[in-house]
Amino acid sequence: MTRRVLVLNGPNLGRLGSREPDVYGSTSYAGLVEQCTALGAELGFEVEVRETNDEGEMIRWLHEAADGSIPVVLNPGAFTHYSYGMRDAAAQRTAPLIEVHISNPYTREEFRHTSVVAAVATGTVAGFGLGSYRLALRALAAELTG
């Protein structure tokens, strides 16, 4: 049986490939979607990748995941550092939630060093480019089978 997984992305992640390629790489958002769905299929997941610039929409998606016991890979983008509403929605999780970041926030501006999500996530993967998503999906698979 295939397990549904949501890969949720916050603000500006839809601009991958054109947004600061020295930080976020040159792969487009469509490339990220392709990578996540392909690896997900290998792992037995039906992966749905979403992106929003709207905090309320992100909160609704996290509620959907909690209500359906759907595992989540979450790149909150800038919401990471200040969205207590998103953090509270993530805290309601009923399945594993892996926080992911393309860059390593601790090597960047000081305001990026704080994650309001980390304390309620199963774990965090950061600093490996789009490989962070692949590592997060593999960690999710291990959590669900272990």
Domains of the chain: residue spans and CATH? 3-145 (3.40.50.9100)
* Residue of 29, 84, 101, 106 with catalytic role: 101
Q: Which two tokens stand for residue 4?
A: 């549904």
User: What is the Cα–Cα distance from 104 to 47, expressed in whole angstroms?
Assistant: 24
Q: What is the mean pLDDT of residues 39-67?
A: 97
Structure tokens that stand for 8 in this block: 């949720």
The pLDDT value given to residue 29: 86
The DSSP secondary-structure symbol of 107 reads G
* Binding residue positions for substrate: 75, 81, 88, 102-103, 112
8 A C-beta contact, residue 39 and residue 5: no
DSSP-based three-state secondary structure for 6: strand
Q: Which residues, at least 6 apart from 57, have a Cβ–Cβ distance to it below 8 Å?
A: none
Q: What is the pLDDT of residues 57-115, one digit of tens each?
A: 999 999 999 999 999 999 998 889 889 999 999 999 999 999 999 887 766 667 666 89
Q: What is the pLDDT of residue 91?
A: 98
Query: Residues annotated in the binding site, as ranges?
Result: 75, 81, 88, 102-103, 112
Q: What is the pLDDT of residue 92?
A: 97
Which listed residue (24, 82, 106, 133) is catalytic? 24
User: Could you confirm whether 101 is annotated as catalytic?
Assistant: yes
For the question of residue 24 being annotated catalytic, the response is: yes
Place of tokens 């600093």: 127
90 exposure class (CB count in 10 Å sphere: 0-12, 13-18, 19+) = buried
